[in-house]
Structure 1
Amino acid sequence: MTDVDIATEVHELEFYVQRNVRYHMRRGAFFLRWGRFTAFVGVVFGSATVTSLIAGSSAFLVGGSALLVTLASSVDLVVGTGQRAWLHNDLRKRYLDIEAEMLAVPPDSAKLREMRSKIRRIEADEPPTLPALELLARDDVIRSIYSREEAAKHVSRLSWFKRTTAQWFDWDTSNA
């Protein structure tokens, strides 16, 4: 393997690792915010339910508040936002360890194979990825590496709706 081949492989591996760091950072932050939001809903509307019961408010207000708390808590429980936030944070840290290793000593072909092996072990622990979110993470890396003009040539063309809902839906990104 020539020095040019190794340099190209190192660049591609660095890009891949950085994209995955950003992807898992986005997912972890999303689940953390979601968990906090459902906790907020539980506290606010749970308090409203109790206050309404004590004050003798309408059954509609009491029932609506109780239903909202139940739905938010159920979704949080089923999805497991806390566990997912921790998983994505752990995966992000594992990719950061590989990046730190790459920055410490310029890898040769044997070291590159070892790093690819570590990456495959991380990928085995990853949940299925969301393609639109993966593209957004890729765009983040492109913007961090290239100038604004150069980056504009390479970033994806996702609609605002797909960008906004990338955390929720498995969008087809073949045309982006």
Structure 2
Amino acid sequence: MEDADNLRVELHELNFYVQRNIRYHMRRGAFFLRWGRFTAFIGIIFGSAAVTSLLAGASPYVTGAAALMVTAASAIDLVVGTGQRAWLHNDLRKRYLDIESEMFLDEPSSQAGKIRAYKSRIRRIEADEPPTLPALEILARNDVIRAMYPKEEADKSVSQLGWVKRATAQWFDWDTSSS
């Protein structure tokens, strides 16, 4: 009986880990997709404004500011590589989803022998992952807790992050050791 309990706990922990990574990469991929769209929007709007102001004889300061905005947004997009990062995180999410779907399909009695294989596949995915952002990882963990447990239990287990860390979790590598 103890082996069955240990197996159940190990499978639950593994499922939780996979779920957290799915949500982490979903959040990260969506962030880069939105950022890429934002920089494209800036390029279109201010690029059009620069051309229009040149043609209309507007102040050189307005023209310069619009051109600077387009240049800065395009440079950030190019350096960060938002498109490539969005695809990377989407691919990583799909790889975790593959593991999750196999875990759902497998009979619980057959999973004891497959745990090592699942963990091996997870390690290969982790080798391809960029460094994680701890505050974003906590937000993804909180998402899983809220999805898997009843509200009363979830409310006791979620980690609290200040609004600044929540709002900037995609941007900064926050120290979350006290969270």
Partner residue in 2 for 1:38: 39
Q: What are the within-5 Å matches in structure 2 for residues 75-86 of structure 1?
A: 75-86=76-87
RMSD value, Cα: 0.9
Alpha-carbon distance in 2 for matches of 1:14, 1:130:
21
Alpha-carbon distance in 2 for matches of 1:126, 1:166:
17
| Farther-moved stretch of structure 1 (74-83 vs 99-108) | 99-108
Query: 1:107-138: per-residue Cα shift (whole Å, max 9, x none)?
Result: 43220000000000000000000000000000
How far apart are residue 95 of structure 1 and its match? 0.1
The reply on whether 1:141 has 2:149 as its aligned counterpart is no
For normalisation by structure 2, the TM-score amounts to 0.97
Partner residue in 1 for 2:10: 9
Q: Alignment identity in percent?
A: 69
Q: Which residue of 102, 114, 118 corresponds with 1:115? A: 118
How far apart are residue 157 of structure 1 and its match? 1.1
Alpha-carbon distance in 2 for matches of 1:89, 1:108:
27
Q: Which runs of 5+ in 2 are unaligned?
A: none
Partner residue in 2 for 1:102: 103
Partner residue in 2 for 1:153: 156
Partner residue in 1 for 2:30: 29
Q: Which runs of 5+ in 1 are unaligned?
A: none
**3-state SS of 1:2 partner:** helix
Query: 1:34-87: per-residue Cα shift (whole Å, max 9, x none)?
Result: 000000000000000000000010001000000000000000000000000000
**3-state SS of 2:161 partner:** coil
Alpha-carbon distance in 2 for matches of 1:145, 1:10:
14
Alpha-carbon distance in 1 for matches of 2:165, 2:121:
32
The reply on whether 1:92 has 2:89 as its aligned counterpart is no
The reply on whether 1:54 has 2:83 as its aligned counterpart is no
**3-state SS of 2:135 partner:** helix
How many residues align? The count is 176
Q: Amino acid of the residue matched to residue 48 of structure 1?
A: A
Q: Amino acid of the residue matched to residue 118 of structure 2?
A: M
Alpha-carbon distance in 1 for matches of 2:27, 2:102:
23
**3-state SS of 1:167 partner:** coil
Alpha-carbon distance in 1 for matches of 2:123, 2:93:
14
Alpha-carbon distance in 1 for matches of 2:19, 2:6:
20
Query: 1:3-62: per-residue Cα shift (whole Å, max 9, x none)?
Result: 111111100000000000000000000000000000000000000000000001000100
